[in-house]
Chains A and B, each alone.
Chain A
Amino acid sequence: MSVILVFLTVVIGFSFWWLSHQRLMSKPWLEHGAALPTTDVSYMPTAKVALGIFLAVIGSLFALFASAYFMRMEYADWQAPPLPAVLWFNTIVLVLASIALSCAVRAARENRMDITRLGLATAGLSSIVFLIGQLAAWRTLSAAGHFMDVNAANGFFYLITGMHGLHILGGLVALARVSAVAWRETYCSARVRLGIDLCAMYWHFLLFVWLCLFILLAGWAGDLVAICRQFLA
C-alpha cells in the first residue's frame, strides 16, 4: 500500500497547505463583521477547482491499482508479459495530444481561432490514435498467448491500460463538446477558453498517469523498488 500512502501524503499535504491559509487558528467568536479576507473563496473558476479535486480522485484510483500491482508482484507465480513495442509509439502520440492542447490553450488566449481549432483537432485525433494503439497492444499480447487468465501480471496489464483508456474516452466526450462550441463560434469566448483549459489540465494529468503506468508495466518500477530495497538492506 506504499504507493497510495505516498499519493495520499501529497494530497493531505496539499490540503493542509490550503487549510493553513484559511486562518484555522483564528478565534471566530472575537471577529464580528462581514469579514472576507482575500484568501477566502478563491478566484479560480469553480470548474477548475472541481476538476482539480476530481483529478485527485482519479490519482487515488490509479495509485491504488499500482499498490495492488506491487503487492501482487511479491507472489511466486508472477510473470510479467513482454512490453509491446507499440506502447512507445502510443506514448509519443499521447505526448503529442498534450502538446496540441497546450498550443490550443495559448492560441485561445490570444484569440486565434484557426490555431485553436487545429490544436483541438490534433489532440482529439491523436488521442483516438492512442486508443487504437492501445488496442493494438492488447492484440499483440493476446496473439502471443498472454491472456488475462494465464497470469495476474497479464490481468493487470489489460485492466490498468483499459481503465486508463476509459478515462481518455471520457475526456474525448468533453473534448468533442468543447470543439463543437469552438467550431460554432467566431471568437474565443470565456466559455471556450475555460473548456480548453480544463481539457488541457485533464490531458496533462492523464499523460502523467500514463507515464507512471508505463514505468510500472515495463517493470522498471519493480526494478527500482528492488534496488532501493537492496540499498536499504
Chain B
Amino acid sequence: MAVALVLVLVVVGSILFHILSPWWWSPIASNWGYIDQTLIITFWITGAVFSAVVLFMAYCVFRFRHREGVKADYNPENKKLEWWLTAVTAVGVAAMLAPGLYVWSQFITVPDDATEVEVVGQQWQWSYRLPGQDGRLGKSDNRLVTYENPLGIDPDDPYGQDDVVIEAADLHLPIDKPVKMLLRSIDVLHDFYVPEFRAKMDMVPGTVTYFWFTPTRTGTFEVLCAELCGTGHGYMRGIVMVDTEEDYQAWLDGQTTFAQLSAPTTVGVMDADEP
C-alpha cells in the first residue's frame, strides 16, 4: 500500500513541482523561441510517458501485491501488444525528433545579412573583435599573440587593420540584427554562453567555430563560460549589452581599431616575437 502511494506521490509531486516551482528558464532575448517550443513539446511527451509508466506501476503494486493463495499469471509474451507499444513509442520519438531537426537546420543556416562578431576566449576573460569599416575580419593566428596584439591579428592582412578590438570589456550588439558569432580561443576550450540567447558553442583553439542569433530585446546580459577551462572557469564572466541602433553607434565610435592599437610599434614588435 505504502509503496503504491509513494509512487503516486512521486508522479503528483513531480508534476506539481514542474507547474508551481518558480524555477524556469530566463526570459528569452533572441530569435530562438523555436528551441523553447521544442523543449516544451518534449516536456509534454516525456511527462506523459513518465506519469503513465509510474502510475501503471503503482496500480500493479496495489492490485497484484502478494496475497496468500493467489498465483501469478503465466504469460511469456504478447507479440501484438509489444509491437503496438513499439509503434507508439516510435511515433512519440518522431514527434520530438522532427521539430528538433527542423529547428537545427535553421540553427546551422546562417542568414546572409548576418554581421560577423568575433569572440576570443582566454583564461579567464572575454575579448571581442568587430570587422570595422570594410566589414571583413582580418586573419589571425595564436602564434601572433603578444602583449600588444592580444588577439593575434595578422598585421600583414589589410583587412585586419580597421578591425575593432575590445579587450576584456563589454560587448555591445544592435537589436534585431542577425549576428554570426565567430568563436576563437587563445588557449583552451571555452564556451560562449548567454542563457537568454539560448544558443551556445564551444570555442576550440586552432579552429574557428560559430553560431548565429538575432537579439530581440535590449538589456544587459551576463556571459558565462560553459566549458571547463581551468581553475578560473567559474569566474570567467563578461557582459553583453543589446542596444538600440543609436546607442550602438555611439558605443562603436568610442572603440579603438587594431591599427590605432598597434600603430607606433607594430613592425618592431612583430620582428622581435617571430619564432
Contacts and interface: CB of A to CB of B under 8 A. Distances in A.
A49 B76 CA distance: 33
Interface in A124-147: none
Interface string B67-98: 00000000010000000000000000000000
Interface residues of B, number: 2
Contacts of A75: 206
Contacts of A231: none
A42 B152 CA distance: 64
Nearest to B206: A75
Contacts of B206: 75
Name the interface size band of chain A.
under 10
Contacts of B76: 27, 29
Contacts of A29: 76
A4 B76 CA distance: 39
A5 B176 CA distance: 44
Interface in A11-69: 27, 29
Nearest to B76: A29
B77 to A, nearest CB: 8
B210 to A, nearest CB: 19
Nearest to A28: B76
A75 B205 CA distance: 13
Interface in A88-130: none
A75 B206 CA distance: 10
A76 to B, nearest CB: 10
B188 to A, nearest CB: 18
Interface in B196-210: 206
A75 B204 CA distance: 14
A208 B90 CA distance: 43
Nearest to A75: B206
B178 to A, nearest CB: 30
A29 B206 CA distance: 59
A36 B271 CA distance: 81
B143 to A, nearest CB: 11
Nearest to A29: B76
A75 B76 CA distance: 56
A121 to B, nearest CB: 51
Interface in B158-174: none
A29 B76 CA distance: 7
Nearest to B207: A75
A225 B206 CA distance: 24
Nearest to B75: A29
A27 B79 CA distance: 12
A192 B206 CA distance: 55
Interface in A71-95: 75
Interface string B37-80: 00000000000000000000000000000000000000010000
B144 to A, nearest CB: 16
B184 to A, nearest CB: 16
Interface of A: 27, 29, 75
3 contacts: A27-B76, A29-B76, A75-B206
Interface of B: 76, 206
Q: Top 3 A-B pairs ranked by shortest CB distance?
A: A29-B76, A27-B76, A75-B206
